[in-house]
């Protein structure tokens, strides 16, 4: 009976374990997804007679706050992985929980922003600017939410996994981190494109 | 998960559910894909057989009154198909055949079952994701089928779902979009798995240039799926927003529908959809053809008892094809009013992409040269693939040049072109694959006699269906036309429709021989002479039959390229990859 190789240990040639290779492929497809949406944005904007300046309609201070939250969460994500690398499970737990918490804070701020727009009768159907704004930020928000759910699950099983197979556990956090940084990166693009330009 | 970790429980005998329904074994999943995809192929075929009645005898009541009354007044009034229903059938035929039939069979079934065996792997890199991929596909299929029963019926705006029509279509279109999201998710999970498996899990000694061509084809296909599908997903999300939240991504300002101005904000662009759609859908056509080429290459090498002629050119061609397929998409849009600069670019890339196709076809044909060919059933199908794909590819050239495409666009000529590649082409190759790998899956052979009947009847009638399309198209008959006799030029070529329809129905009859053969041979077929009944060289034949969970008894090691046939100075005329000498 053969077992699947390289589930935990890196492949001698590619230098990565299967999961990490998989997550990179997944992120490549995500780049194409958001790339397509950004292209759609460009095409719509180029084709429009007038296009509002994002800063005139959207709440830049709140978005700046959100940018800070996400960047910080990426930092704590790295710290949590680094803590596992030096076998400090307690620290991992603290940093990883902070990442989840910061992600949640991002969503709360975002929902306040949405709420304010709805109050002023600005909906996706209002015009093309709001349509693309809500679509892009909404899809990004779903990615944040997905990350939070998976991270929460990972945190809840962390202890037993750590006791059983610490290397596998560390790998998982590394993969979760790669995804999280990507979600962060998308926001770094969204913020200037939608709010500033 | 806190206590269980399925991978660590592999050694226990799995229960019924785990073994047959929620299995993580790539072979079971492959078989699940095969059965589901074949069901959808039959279903999609049934849809178009209904259409063939309307096309052959427009406005005449349906000859099977029972079926007409079963379909109900909303679809057929006193036996005559309504135009709305006709549109549903057309749109869903295309969608089902491509996304639920051919791709899942070519990639989900053959790729899943054969590829890990050919690279000497115990399973896919991510078995549970593999299972999830199948179930996402299954759910997508359910949503698509369910859409026939929602008010207004299924999607009716073509498999291409062009706005503005698709934006204002009935609810079925929303189901179509949701179904597509499931299918895209499924192929995303699948393609990640395929690529990771091929890169990480190859057996010892199996370098990239020792991979069977089938694996290369699946490898490139997986990249196409991975990178081309997300833009369609983006487009689908935008169209969903349009339909559910009233945005106008694809609706221009000032649109009037049925005499009334549409109450939307406007400012959108219908061409945006076409760009996003074809950015997927052109690579998608190579997803439809590459696995077929892979299957045919395996079978030709095996039955000519010679190495493939030009293995390396084949590999470079398939890589180049994969790359180029991302920059030809707008040849589907020549008449949308793009400027000459744009159209020149896309004409050039389209001509360039035909080169690797020709190289592949030529290599396969030259491989036959001087061989003492074994005319087994799989070989017959593989041989037939070559001219059929040739016709399909060559008829694509006039479509790739804007000046001739203006005349041919959206006519039956286009339908003829792509069906020659996908139906007489890919489908015949898929049949070849079924006959070829059946003994590995079941330990029994399929009947030669039934197989030959199936082959000849299929070959004749499938050409009867599609060959006349070129003539109709050149006469100007447009696709998606409910009543082809509406226009005078259509009347001239109308008799062809009767030929085509009878061919289609007889083609269905021919498939009965296949189905009987398939079912009969599973239990009653002649026992395969060994684990390697075709005397093949690739690793899938080095496993027990059927391969157990984990595939190989001991990790295989590879010493040669994939097609060491008729090596001089050997007793047998084949040298398996895992035999050192
Ligand atoms: C080998 C060279 C090929 C060339 C030059 C070529 C060219 C074209 C062009 C220019 C069109 C657009 C025609 C129009 O709408 O006016 C077209 C349509 C199409 N081709 Fe090809 N093609 C080639 C091979 C293939 C292959 C291998 C496949 C699939 C397996 C394929 C599948 C299709 C499909 C599905 C459509 C029609 C889509 C639709 O409008 O519904 N083609 N082809
Ligand atoms: Cu194309």
Task: Please give the Cα distance from A124 to B267 (Å, whole number).
Answer: 13
Please tell me the distance between residue B380's alpha carbon and the centre of ligand 1 in angstroms: 26
Least CB–CB distance from A127: residue in B10, B265, B279: B265
Look at residue B113 in the predicted model and tell me its pLDDT. Answer: 98
Look at residue B5 in the predicted model and tell me its pLDDT. Answer: 43
Task: Please give the Cα distance from B281 to B232 (Å, whole number).
Answer: 8
Instruction: Evaluate whether B81 touches B50 at the Cβ level (below 8 Å).
Output: yes
Task: Please give the Cα distance from B540 to B10 (Å, whole number).
Answer: 22
The whole-number average pLDDT for the span B14-27 is: 84
Look at residue B8 in the predicted model and tell me its pLDDT. Answer: 42
- Which tens digit of pLDDT belongs to each residue from A125-159? 999 999 999 999 999 999 999 999 999 999 999 99
Instruction: Evaluate whether B293 touches B429 at the Cβ level (below 8 Å).
Output: yes
Look at residue B581 in the predicted model and tell me its pLDDT. Answer: 74
- Which tens digit of pLDDT belongs to each residue from B403-431? 999 999 999 999 999 999 999 999 999 99
Q: How many pairs of residues across A and B have Cβ atoms under 8 Å apart? A: 145
Cβ neighbours, 10 Å, residue A105: 16
Count of alpha carbons within 13 angstroms of residue B529, beta-carbon side: 5
CATH 1.20.210.10 fits B16-251+266-542, yes or no: yes
Q: Please name the residues in contact with B197: beta carbons below 8 A apart, sequence gap of 6 or more.
A: B115, B116, B119, B121, B124, B125
Look at residue B13 in the predicted model and tell me its pLDDT. Answer: 63
Specify if A147 maps to a domain. yes
Q: Does A11 have pLDDT greater than 80?
A: yes
Site to substitute for ligand 1 among B399, B403, B404, B408, most atoms within 8 A of C-beta: B399
Q: Does B18 have pLDDT greater than 70?
A: yes
Instruction: Evaluate whether B308 touches B301 at the Cβ level (below 8 Å).
Output: yes
The whole-number average pLDDT for the span B443-449 is: 97
Task: Please give the Cα distance from B26 to B126 (Å, whole number).
Answer: 10
Percent of chain A with pLDDT over 90: 96
Specify if A6 maps to a domain. no
A139-160 burial: b if 16+ Cβ within 10 Å, else e: bbbebbeebbebbeebbeebee
The whole-number average pLDDT for the span B212-236 is: 97
Q: Does B304 have pLDDT greater than 90?
A: yes
CA distance B334 to chain A (A): 18
Confidence at B580, pLDDT banded by 50, 70, 90: confident
CATH number at residue A26: 1.20.120.80
Q: Do A3 and B10 touch (CB under 8 A)?
A: yes
- A-chain CB neighbours of B268 within 8 Å are 44, 128
For residue B453, what are the CA distances in angstroms to B292, B456, B512? 22, 5, 10
Look at residue B500 in the predicted model and tell me its pLDDT. Answer: 97
Residue A70 tokens read as 């996400």
Look at residue B9 in the predicted model and tell me its pLDDT. Answer: 43
What's B541's DSSP letter? G
Residue among A13, A16, A20, A40 with most chain B CBs within 10 A, to mutate: A40
- Which tens digit of pLDDT belongs to each residue from B530-575? 999 999 999 999 999 999 999 999 999 999 999 999 999 888 999 9
Specify if A39 maps to a domain. yes
Specify if A53 maps to a domain. no
- Which tens digit of pLDDT belongs to each residue from B123-164? 999 999 999 999 999 999 999 999 999 999 999 999 999 999
The torsion region of residue B550 among left (phi > 0), alpha (psi -120 to 50) and beta comes to: left
Q: Does B3 have pLDDT greater than 60?
A: no
- The residue segments making up the domain with residue A132 are 18-48+60-196
The model carries a pTM of 0.95
Query: To the nearest whole number, what is the mean pLDDT of chain A?
Result: 96
For residue B315, which of B213, B247, B229, B226 has the smallest C-alpha distance?
B213
Q: Does B21 have pLDDT greater than 90?
A: no
Residue A172 tokens read as 């998982």
The whole-number average pLDDT for the span B278-305 is: 96
- Which tens digit of pLDDT belongs to each residue from B44-73? 999 999 999 999 999 899 999 899 999 988
Instruction: Evaluate whether B547 touches B117 at the Cβ level (below 8 Å).
Output: yes
Task: Please give the Cα distance from B285 to B492 (Å, whole number).
Answer: 32
- B-chain CB neighbours of A164 within 8 Å are 5
Query: To the nearest whole number, what is the mean pLDDT of chain B?
Result: 94
Task: Please give the Cα distance from B547 to B540 (Å, whole number).
Answer: 9
Q: Does B172 have pLDDT greater than 50?
A: yes
Residue A126 tokens read as 């209002």
The whole-number average pLDDT for the span B185-202 is: 97
Confidence at B264, pLDDT banded by 50, 70, 90: confident
- Which tens digit of pLDDT belongs to each residue from A32-51? 999 999 999 999 999 998 99
- Which tens digit of pLDDT belongs to each residue from A92-101? 999 999 999 9
Percent of chain B with pLDDT over 70: 98
| Number of domain units in chain A | 1
Q: Which residues make up the environment of ion ligand 2, defined by Cβ < 5 Å? A: B 282
What's B426's DSSP letter? I
Specify if A180 maps to a domain. yes
Q: Do A25 and B195 touch (CB under 8 A)?
A: yes
Look at residue A41 in the predicted model and tell me its pLDDT. Answer: 96
Specify if A8 maps to a domain. no
Task: Please give the Cα distance from A4 to B353 (Å, whole number).
Answer: 38
Task: Please give the Cα distance from B223 to B309 (Å, whole number).
Answer: 25
DSSP string, A88-116: -HHHHHHHHHHHHHHHHHHHHHHHHHHHH
Instruction: Evaluate whether B422 touches B428 at the Cβ level (below 8 Å).
Output: no
Task: Please give the Cα distance from A99 to A83 (Å, whole number).
Answer: 14
What SS3 class is residue B527? strand
Q: Does B358 have pLDDT greater than 70?
A: yes
Specify if A100 maps to a domain. yes
For ligand 1, residues with CB inside 6 Å are B 160, 285, 288-289, 331-332, 350, 354, 357, 393, 396-397, 399-400, 405, 408-409, 414, 417-418, 421-422
Give the residue, by CA position, lying nearest to ligand 1 atom 23.
Answer: B396
Residues 222-241 of B with CB under 8 A from A: 226-231, 233-235, 237-238, 241
The whole-number average pLDDT for the span B300-322 is: 96
Site to substitute for ligand 1 among B352, B421, B428, most atoms within 8 A of C-beta: B421
Look at residue B10 in the predicted model and tell me its pLDDT. Answer: 46
Look at residue B4 in the predicted model and tell me its pLDDT. Answer: 41
The residues on A that touch B, with CB distances below 8 Å, are 1-7, 11, 14, 18-19, 21-22, 25-26, 28-30, 32-37, 40, 43-44, 47-48, 123-128, 131-132, 134-135, 139, 153, 156-157, 160, 164
Task: Please give the Cα distance from B92 to B86 (Å, whole number).
Answer: 10
Q: Do B267 and A40 touch (CB under 8 A)?
A: no
Confidence at A1, pLDDT banded by 50, 70, 90: low
What's A194's DSSP letter? I
């Amino acid at each position: 009976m053969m077992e699947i190789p390289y589930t935990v240990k890196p492949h001698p040639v590619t230098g990565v374990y299967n999961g990490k290779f998989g997550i990179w492929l997944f992120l490549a497809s995500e780049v194409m997804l958001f790339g397509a949406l950004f292209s759609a944005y460009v095409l719509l904007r180029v084709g429009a007679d007038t296009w509002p300046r994002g800063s005139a309609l959207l709440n830049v201070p709140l978005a700046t706050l959100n940018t800070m939250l996400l960047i910080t969460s990426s930092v704590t994500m790295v710290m949590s992985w680094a803590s596992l690398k030096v076998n400090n499970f307690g620290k991992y737990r603290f940093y990883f929980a902070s990442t989840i918490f910061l992600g949640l804070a991002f969503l709360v701020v975002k929902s306040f922003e949405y709420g304010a727009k709805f109050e002023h009768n600005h909906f996706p159907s209002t015009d093309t600017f709001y349509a693309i704004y809500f679509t892009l930020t909404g899809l990004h928000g779903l990615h944040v939410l997905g990350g939070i759910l998976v991270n929460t699950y990972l945190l809840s099983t962390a202890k037993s996994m750590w006791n059983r197979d610490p290397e596998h556990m560390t790998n998982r956090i590394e993969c979760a981190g790669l995804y999280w940084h990507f979600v962060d990166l998308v926001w770094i693009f969204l913020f200037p494109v939608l709010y500033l330009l | 998960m806190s206590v269980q970790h399925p991978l660590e429980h592999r050694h226990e005998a799995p229960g019924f559910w785990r073994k047959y329904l929620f299995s993580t074994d790539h072979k079971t999943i492959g078989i699940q894909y095969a059965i589901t995809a074949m069901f959808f192929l039959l279903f999609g075929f049934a849809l178009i057989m209904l259409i063939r009645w309307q096309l052959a005898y427009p406005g005449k009541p349906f000859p099977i009154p029972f079926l007409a009354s079963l379909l109900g007044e909303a679809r057929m009034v006193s036996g005559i198909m309504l135009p709305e229903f006709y549109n549903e059938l057309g749109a869903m035929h295309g969608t089902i055949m491509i996304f639920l039939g051919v791709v899942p069979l070519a990639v989900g079934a053959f790729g899943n079952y054969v590829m890990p065996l050919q690279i000497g792997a115990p399973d896919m890199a991510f078995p549970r994701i593999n299972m999830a991929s199948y179930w996402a596909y299954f759910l997508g299929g359910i949503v698509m089928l369910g859409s026939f029963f929602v008010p207004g019926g299924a999607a009716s705006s073509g498999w291409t779902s062009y706005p503005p029509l698709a934006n204002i279509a009935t609810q079925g279109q929303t189901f179509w979009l949701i179904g597509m999201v499931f299918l895209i998710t499924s192929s995303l999970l699948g393609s990640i798995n395929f690529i990771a498996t091929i890169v990480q899990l190859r057996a010892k000694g199996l370098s990239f240039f020792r991979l069977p061509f089938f694996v290369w084809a699946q490898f490139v296909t997986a990249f196409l799926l991975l990178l081309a599908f997300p833009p369609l997903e983006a487009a689908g999300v935008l169209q969903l927003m349009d339909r559910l939240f009233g945005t106008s991504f694809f609706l221009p300002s000032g649109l009037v529908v049925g005499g009334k101005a549409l109450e939307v904000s406007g400012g959108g662009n219908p061409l945006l959809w076409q760009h996003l759609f074809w950015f997927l859908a052109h690579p998608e056509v190579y997803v439809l053809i590459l696995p077929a080429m892979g299957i045919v290459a395996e079978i030709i090498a095996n039955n000519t008892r010679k190495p493939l002629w030009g293995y390396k050119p084949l590999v470079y061609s398939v890589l180049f094809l994969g790359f180029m397929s991302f920059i030809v998409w707008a040849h589907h849009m020549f008449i949308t009013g793009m400027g000459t600069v744009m159209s020149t670019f896309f004409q050039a890339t389209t001509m360039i992409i035909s080169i690797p196709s020709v190289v592949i076809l030529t290599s396969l044909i030259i491989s036959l040269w001087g061989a003492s060919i074994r005319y087994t059933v799989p070989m017959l199908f593989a041989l037939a693939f070559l001219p059929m794909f040739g016709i399909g590819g060559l008829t694509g050239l006039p479509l790739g040049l804007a000046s001739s495409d203006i005349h041919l666009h959206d006519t039956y000529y286009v339908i003829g072109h792509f069906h020659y590649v996908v139906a007489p082409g890919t489908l015949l190759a898929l049949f070849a694959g079924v006959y070829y790998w059946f003994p590995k899956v079941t330990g029994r052979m399929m009947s030669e006699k039934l197989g030959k009947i199936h082959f000849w009847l299929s070959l004749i009638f499938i050409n009867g269906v599609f060959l006349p399309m070129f003539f109709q198209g050149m006469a100007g008959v447009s696709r998606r036309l409910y009543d082809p006799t509406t226009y005078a030029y259509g009347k001239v070529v109308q008799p062809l429709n009767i030929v085509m329809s009878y061919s289609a129905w007889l083609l269905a009859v021919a498939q009965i021989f296949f189905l009987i053969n398939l079912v009969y041979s599973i239990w009653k077929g002649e026992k395969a002479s060994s684990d390697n009944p075709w005397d093949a060289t690739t690793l899938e034949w080095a496993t027990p039959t059927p391969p157990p969970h984990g595939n190989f008894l001991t990790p295989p090691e590879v010493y040669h390229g994939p097609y060491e046939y008729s090596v001089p100075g050997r007793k047998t005329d084949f040298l398996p990859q895992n035999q050192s000498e």
